[in-house]
Structure 1
Amino acid sequence: MTKTRTIIRGVGSYLPEKVLTNAELSTMVETSDEWIQQRVGIKQRHIAAEGQFTSDLAVEAARQAMANAGVTPDEIDLIIVATTTPDYTFPAAATLVQMKLGMHHGMAFDIQAVCSGFVYAMATADSYIKNGMANRALVIGAETFSRLLDWTDRTTCVLFGDGAGAAVVEKLELDDDAPERGVLASALRSDGHHWDKLYVDGGPSTTGTTGHVHMQGPEVFRHAVGKITDVVYATLEKTGYTVADLDWFVPHQANKRIIDGAGAKLGLPPEKVVMTVDRHANTSAASVPLALSVAVADGRIKQGDLVMLEAMGGGFTWGASLIRW
């Protein structure tokens, strides 16, 4: 007998060339490098160029992931793009990625779960593969979040950046007695009662405008650590593993204090936590795959490692996925 598993074959990332440092930000809004680093741990962020769209970032990350996986677009039959900042209201950014990769086959769609988007997309791709609806997928988190910012609001504009990360995931049939690989379990959650704690004040059906990000920072922080740890434990419970079994924790890169708080509550040593928020800032749905790509590229995450992905975002949405690399 065999069992179907979804394995990650390769990962990739892309960051726009323009880097905006805290020092530069302090000339645009009343803030300082010390203030930003002390509160959220961010030193810089990348900003997409004029005329550079979310699908462009996604394509670059996807190409790198496919190169690392040793596959071509002809071998992909599903594209899922997690994003809050699509190029257009429609069509989906994923269909534009499909076009830019020269694909005329397969299926492509977006997932909107804000910062939890990549974790939601991974769970979705895993479900499609295990149910026989796809064999190999591109799962992408991509954002041009800078275009949702009010650059006069220092409580939000210092937090976010642009970027994209991608993973090629594929079907693997394992003998029942073979060592586990791939996505072992996921847990997804949401609670729309908290929508106004982190939201954008615009949209096609309300104002007809894009709008800007608004956040009740202390409220988001208050909920974050508890929700993160709860969903991590829920995911582990499905598999029989414990926190002590984890080799790596790859959390959403929103705020160093939230990451540190979640790690401490879980009892994870800091050296097992992948941290990129200082270089990338909060890239929403792109933050988890960007961090994942960094940790794979520098050799920290290697085959056989047990890796926990986690994210929380506006909605609220939150989720976790446990992967045997």
Structure 2
Amino acid sequence: MNIGVLGTGSYLPAETVSNSLVAERAGVTDEWIVRKTGIRSRRYAAETEATSDLAVAAAESALRAAGIAAEQLSWVVVATSTPDHPQPATACLVQYRLGAHRAAAFDVNSVCSGFVFALETAARLLSPSRVPGPGPMPTAPGYALVIGADVYSRIIDRADRRTAVLFGDGAGAVVLGPVRPGRGLIGSRLTSHGDQHDLIHVEAGGSRLPASEKTLADGAHWFKMRGRAVSEFVARELPQAVRALLSTYGVDPARVDHFIPHQANGVMLRDAFPRLGLDRAKLHLTVDEHGNTSAASIPLALDTVCRAGAFRDGELLLLAGFGGGMSVGSALLHWDGDANPR
């Protein structure tokens, strides 16, 4: 059974935050932000909005596009590193609000690469034949909803120019299910580099360093990133990941039609793209308007491009995420135009 994307959806908070609003507090200028990142604006969630609110809105949009009812879902998987609460899983809140009462729900935290990790996980759950094991293969169950959602405006230090100028809030979602032969997810490649876990982190709030007056005073709950080291990681690991994925599945790089990366930094991605060898592929960037929305960035960009009518039936899409862990996830899929008419 081929598993592919039946519908896409996304949600952006109403508040648009321009560079001028973040530049002064971060000690930079609008021109500096554009030159370093390519970002011109981002969205911030309202005070009343949490990650699950954004996720539900994106999910409803994806379900409408797919023509699938929530009660038909077997799985709800939310990729996020900014959950509503340490527990329960944000996916359970989303499942409840959607009325997906037959679905099992869980979160995936691979930070900015989380959506690709969640996508592969859900595809394996829907297609047991992809998972080796003893005994007969059970019939693949129903449909899966895969969501990337994050609210980074709550965990960034607005005075830290390494992070404050980059991040925004948003959510994107896809519905996975059976597609025609020759369409759907071809395969993925997931890797983690735990020896470099300190490049991106939130130090406090877990069992290692519980919240206290001292952790609050020390700013230990803010998201921190070693920007130069992260850029070097991406420059080294992203081309390797793309080459390895294509080689594993015997795909000529010249066959790739669209490249949808994690929207981390527009300047960095434009610099890296020529080194990937995807000579025919269209690079899709939405980071200029949305900023870095972490796990939401790939499905948000995917939905934006899909709704613009840029994908044609049978075209080959390559998704690539990279982020904290450090983790890298890439996936190949043949687009099913019949399932996603525009």
TM-score range, shorter chain: over 0.9
Is structure 2 residue 155 aligned with structure 1 residue 153? no
Q: 1:35, 1:271 → 2: CA distance? A: 29
Q: 1:155, 1:148 → 2: CA distance? A: 13
- 2:36 alignment partner in structure 1: 39
Q: Pick from 305, 320, 326: which aligns with 1:295?
A: 305
Q: 1:228, 1:59 → 2: CA distance? A: 31
- 2:184 alignment partner in structure 1: 182
Secondary structure of the corresponding residue to residue 171 of structure 2: strand
Is structure 2 residue 293 aligned with structure 1 residue 283? yes
Secondary structure of the corresponding residue to residue 17 of structure 2: strand
Secondary structure of the corresponding residue to residue 39 of structure 2: coil
| Cα-to-partner distance string for 1:222-264 (whole Å, 9 max, x where unaligned) | 1102211111112111221121101100000001122113311
Is structure 2 residue 125 aligned with structure 1 residue 128? yes
Question: What amino acid sits opposite 2:183 in the alignment?
Answer: R
Question: What amino acid sits opposite 2:207 in the alignment?
Answer: S
Is structure 2 residue 307 aligned with structure 1 residue 310? no
Secondary structure of the corresponding residue to residue 64 of structure 1: helix
Q: 2:267, 2:39 → 1: CA distance? A: 11
Secondary structure of the corresponding residue to residue 167 of structure 2: coil
| Cα-to-partner distance string for 1:251-293 (whole Å, 9 max, x where unaligned) | 0000112211331101335970000110111110000001100
Gaps of 5+ in 2: 129-138, 212-219, 336-342
Q: 1:52, 1:95 → 2: CA distance? A: 17
Structure 2 counterparts to residues 212-291 of structure 1, below 5 A: 212-269=222-279, 272-291=282-301
Gaps of 5+ in 1: none
**Native 8 Å contact 2:155 2:221 kept in 1:** yes
- 1:22 alignment partner in structure 2: 19
Displacement of 1:168 after TM fit?
0.3
Q: 1:133, 1:193 → 2: CA distance? A: 37
Q: 1:155, 1:238 → 2: CA distance? A: 36
Displacement of 1:207 after TM fit?
2.6
Secondary structure of the corresponding residue to residue 88 of structure 1: coil
Q: 1:269, 1:157 → 2: CA distance? A: 33
| Cα-to-partner distance string for 1:157-194 (whole Å, 9 max, x where unaligned) | 1110100000000034x6xxx5x110001000001110
Is structure 2 residue 57 aligned with structure 1 residue 57? no
Q: 2:13, 2:188 → 1: CA distance? A: 31
Displacement of 1:7 after TM fit?
1.0
Q: 1:323, 1:204 → 2: CA distance? A: 36
Displacement of 1:133 after TM fit?
5.6
Q: TM-score under structure 1 normalisation?
A: 0.94
Displacement of 1:304 after TM fit?
1.1
- 2:76 alignment partner in structure 1: 79
Displacement of 1:74 after TM fit?
1.3
Q: TM-score under structure 2 normalisation?
A: 0.90
Secondary structure of the corresponding residue to residue 2 of structure 2: strand
The 10-residue stretch of structure 1 (274-283 or 131-140) with the greater mean CA deviation from structure 2: 131-140
Is structure 2 residue 145 aligned with structure 1 residue 138? yes
Q: 2:142, 2:242 → 1: CA distance? A: 27
**Native 8 Å contact 1:296 1:302 kept in 2:** no
Displacement of 1:125 after TM fit?
0.7
RMSD over equivalenced CA pairs, Å: 1.4
| Count of residues paired in the alignment | 317
Q: 1:215, 1:104 → 2: CA distance? A: 38
CA distance 1:108–1:133, change in 2 (3 Å): farther
Q: 1:148, 1:270 → 2: CA distance? A: 38
**Native 8 Å contact 1:263 1:269 kept in 2:** no
Q: 2:232, 2:151 → 1: CA distance? A: 27
Displacement of 1:5 after TM fit?
1.3
Q: 1:30, 1:282 → 2: CA distance? A: 19
**Native 8 Å contact 1:94 1:108 kept in 2:** yes
The 10-residue stretch of structure 1 (203-212 or 237-246) with the greater mean CA deviation from structure 2: 203-212
Q: After TM superposition, where is structure 1 displaced by more than 2 Å over at least 4 residues in a row? A: 26-29, 132-135, 206-210, 267-271
**Native 8 Å contact 1:54 1:87 kept in 2:** yes
Structure 2 counterparts to residues 194-209 of structure 1, below 5 A: 194-209=196-211
- 1:117 alignment partner in structure 2: 114
